[in-house]
Amino acid sequence: MKKKSYLYIFTSLLVCFFVLSACGNDQDNASENENEQTETDNDSGERTLTDAMGNEVTIPENPERVIASYLEDYLVALDITPVAQWSVQDGADVQDYLQDSLGDVPTIPHDLPYETVASHDPDLIIMDSADMVEGNKYEQYSSIAPTYVVGTEQNNDWREEFKQIGEIFGREDDVQQILDQYEQKAENAKEEIQNSIGDESVAAIWLVGSTFYIVSDDLSSGDVLYNDLGLGVPNVVEEISESSETNWSEISLEKLAELDADHLFLINSDGEGSEMLEDDIWQNIPAVKNGNIYEYGPESSWLYTGPVANEQMIEDALESLTE
């Protein structure tokens, strides 16, 4: 009886062993299958990135229908054509300086109505700043397509924005190469301009709707003039920039009278014959009196920022200040 009991116990243990072994093999096989599935997902080309707002965004392998309103400069620099481009006034106004590349691209209102965005069937939406998706807007846009927010501020450093765009498209090396070329171009221009005008000061003024605006000392064209090219900053520009967070700040005629700039870039959206340009205050600005005024229209890149815009501004400054 004891032998039978031992035999029964041994047989039971042996059966349990085989059962446990079989379960273990099943689990191993399941684990291997799971790993294989994970690798397949990774090999699909999709990548998950965390945007400026902390959203985890799954980027398609090769986005082909991109909406990146007011970020088109970065796309053009990388030879990427968006499915729609930023515009105002029912498409009447676009970023003219990019139209050699975007001339055939349909426009989309700057406030990006959901229905209009959806009608373009995007596979990726890139937003310039957090205020573009405030409230529940992010959820609405991300229900249309993966939505990536580049920055948290209204004005973000353009180099950092460009690097993020490069990361989104897996083009980091191309972005770095473009930035390196830009820095070299700026350094060469800086040396040539300073050899021409020394430490003379420069300002950029925008005339639109019979109102003058002056550029900030570290945003838009001000960033190019004062940081990249190292040109002299007039006192009025420094003063206004201290209390402003916008690219362009309105400047009164009284304050304009204090503008002691030696050279002046005028972006004239009002066109020829503007009464503001006949005013005595304008005429008495040192740069105007000495004929050191360089006029550009709103179709130029002077109101914008990005690798394409900034390179064009450097070329304009180089041509104007080294005549």
Q: Are 307 and 74 in contact (CB under 8 A)?
A: yes
Task: Inform me whether the pLDDT recorded for 28 exceeds 80.
Answer: no
Q: What is the pLDDT of residues 130-151, one digit of tens each?
A: 999 999 999 999 999 999 999 9
Q: Which two tokens stand for residue 33?
A: 């299958």
From residue 106, alpha-carbon distances to 38, 145, 146, 168 in Å are 39, 19, 21, 23
What is the distance of C-alpha 257 from the center of its chain? 35
Cα–Cα distance measured from residue 284 to residue 162, given in angstroms and rounded to the nearest whole number: 40
- Whether the pTM exceeds 0.75: the reply is yes
Q: Percentage of the chain with pLDDT > 90?
A: 82
Q: What is the pLDDT of residues 239-284, one digit of tens each?
A: 999 998 899 999 999 999 999 999 999 999 999 889 999 999 999 9
DSSP 253-279: HHHHTT---SEEEEEESS-TT-GGGGS
Taken in order 105, 51, 313, 92, is the CA torsion positive or negative?
positive
pLDDT range class, residue 22, cuts 50, 70, 90:
very low
**Secondary structure of residue 30 in the 3-state scheme:** helix
Cβ count within 10 A of residue 119:
13
The beta-carbon contacts of 270-275 under 8 Å, at least 24 apart in sequence, are 270/207, 270/208, 270/209, 270/210, 271/297, 274/207, 274/210, 275/210
pLDDT range class, residue 36, cuts 50, 70, 90:
very low
From residue 3, alpha-carbon distances to 13, 17, 121, 271 in Å are 15, 21, 78, 112
Q: Are 71 and 129 in contact (CB under 8 A)?
A: no
Q: Once rounded to an integer, what is the mean pLDDT over residues 169-175?
A: 98
Q: Are 88 and 298 in contact (CB under 8 A)?
A: no
DSSP 148-168: EEEESSSS--HHHHHHHHHHH
For Cα atoms 106, 110, 112, give the angle at the middle one, nearest 5 degrees: 85
**Secondary structure of residue 128 in the 3-state scheme:** strand
**Secondary structure of residue 123 in the 3-state scheme:** coil
pLDDT of residue 89: 92
Taken in order 222, 227, 229, 232, is the CA torsion positive or negative?
positive
Q: Which two tokens stand for residue 152?
A: 């948290």
